Amino acid sequence: MRVTEITSPRINAYKEKRLEEGAANGTVNRELAALKRMLNLGAKQTPPKVDKVPYIPMLKENNVRKGFFEHGDFLALRNAMLEHLKGFVTFGYRVGWRISEISTLTWAQVDLRQGIVRLEVGDTKNDEARTVYLDDELMEVFKKQRERRRKLGTALLYVFLNKDGTDRVKRFDKAWKSACKKAGIGVRLFHDFRRTAVRNMIRAGIPERVAMMISGHKTRAVFDRYNIVSDADLRLAAQRQAEYLESVTGTVTGTVHELNDRKSAVRL
């Protein structure tokens, strides 16, 4: 098909055909995005290879995953995890970094004296530097990793090493699934830690901008998508509202009684 034959009606017909074949909305959108990218690149050439880019409307998607860990679920998972992976999952759960950012973390990015871990520009998906201060638990995690490296006598610069210490931790799908099953928490993803860390930081009262800097969310839209509200959050909100209204009612009632007492005293 020639570029000039790619029109909005043809694109709509293509979408209908792909949906009839059983393709998901997200799959069709990825295909349309690739087409749109090619056409835009062609239009930017000198001279232009594409005279005009047609309007390409996307399908509505509702496939945002809402999985996250309650703290008890995480503890059960960590207890069931292989020993060399426990520090890895703890760090992921606490800071919400991507699995690739943790697995490629080197000691050059760690300063235990100051208690910080850094990701430089180019090491992150959004090309922004990031610094995380380690609390006591995470400091212990990194000290154990350093001690393990010393005992292994390895020259590897990676923080989190695989089971035999010959390389960094890479994929551990089988160990993850096995730990989830043993912990009895159902099907979970490592990426659920990312959503969990965001929610936990907000629950802890950490300002949203600071939480975004720690987790590495560049846009507010994506951050809001990860800041998931659970049924427990809604129950807690109702409880706090009731407590607030009760306290306000008590204050108002007390003030009314005080005013009535003053009026009585004046009459006397």
* Full 3-state SS string of the chain: CCHHHCCHHHHHHHHHHHHHCCCCHHHHHHHHHHHHHHHHHHHCCCCCCCCCCCCCCCCCCCCCCCCCCCHHHHHHHHHHCCHHHHHHHHHHHHHCCCHHHHHCCEHHHEECCCCEEEECCCCCCCCCCEEEECCHHHHHHHHHHHHHHHHHCCCCCECCECCCCCCECCCCHHHHHHHHHHHCCCCCCCCHHHHHHHHHHHHCCCCHHHHHHHHCCCCHHHHHHHCCCCHHHHHHHHHHHHHHHHHHHHHHHHHHHHHHHHHHHHHC
State the average pLDDT over residues 66-76: 88
Regarding whether 109 and 57 lie in a shared domain, the answer is: no
What torsion do the CA atoms of 133, 135, 136, 139 make, to the nearest 10 degrees? Answer: -40
Question: How many other β-carbons are positioned within 10 Å of the β-carbon of residue 118?
Answer: 14
Q: pLDDT band at 174, cuts 50/70/90? A: very high
Domain-located, residue 98: yes
Question: How many other β-carbons are positioned within 10 Å of the β-carbon of residue 252?
Answer: 10
Q: pLDDT band at 150, cuts 50/70/90? A: very high
CB 29 within 8 A of CB 61: yes
Q: pLDDT band at 252, cuts 50/70/90? A: low
Regarding whether 116 and 40 lie in a shared domain, the answer is: no
Regarding whether 194 and 142 lie in a shared domain, the answer is: yes
Kindly tell me if the per-residue pLDDT of 177 is higher than 90: yes
Of 43-47, 174-178, 182-186, least confident by mean pLDDT is 43-47
Q: pLDDT band at 123, cuts 50/70/90? A: low
Regarding whether 128 and 28 lie in a shared domain, the answer is: no
Q: pLDDT band at 233, cuts 50/70/90? A: low
Q: Which residues contact 173 (CB under 8 A, 6 or more apart)?
A: none
pLDDT at 225: 54
CATH number for the domain including 94?
Answer: 1.10.443.10
Q: For the chain, how many structural domains are there in total?
A: 2
Domain-located, residue 248: no
Regarding whether 191 and 58 lie in a shared domain, the answer is: no
Regarding whether 91 and 57 lie in a shared domain, the answer is: no
What torsion do the CA atoms of 138, 169, 219, 108 make, to the nearest 10 degrees? Answer: 60
Regarding whether 132 and 16 lie in a shared domain, the answer is: no
Tell me the backbone φ, ψ of residue 161, rounded to 5 degrees: -100, 155
Spatial separation of the C-alpha atoms in residues 58 and 15, rounded to whole Å: 9
Domain-located, residue 181: yes
Domain-located, residue 239: no
Q: What rounded mean pLDDT belongs to the chain?
A: 82
The share of the chain scoring above pLDDT 90, in percent, equals: 37
Domain boundary among 47, 63, 79: 63
Regarding whether 157 and 104 lie in a shared domain, the answer is: yes
pLDDT at 152: 95
Kindly tell me if the per-residue pLDDT of 262 is higher than 80: no
Q: Which domain holds residue 160?
A: 71-226
Question: How many other β-carbons are positioned within 10 Å of the β-carbon of residue 239?
Answer: 10
Regarding whether 140 and 51 lie in a shared domain, the answer is: no
Domain-located, residue 145: yes
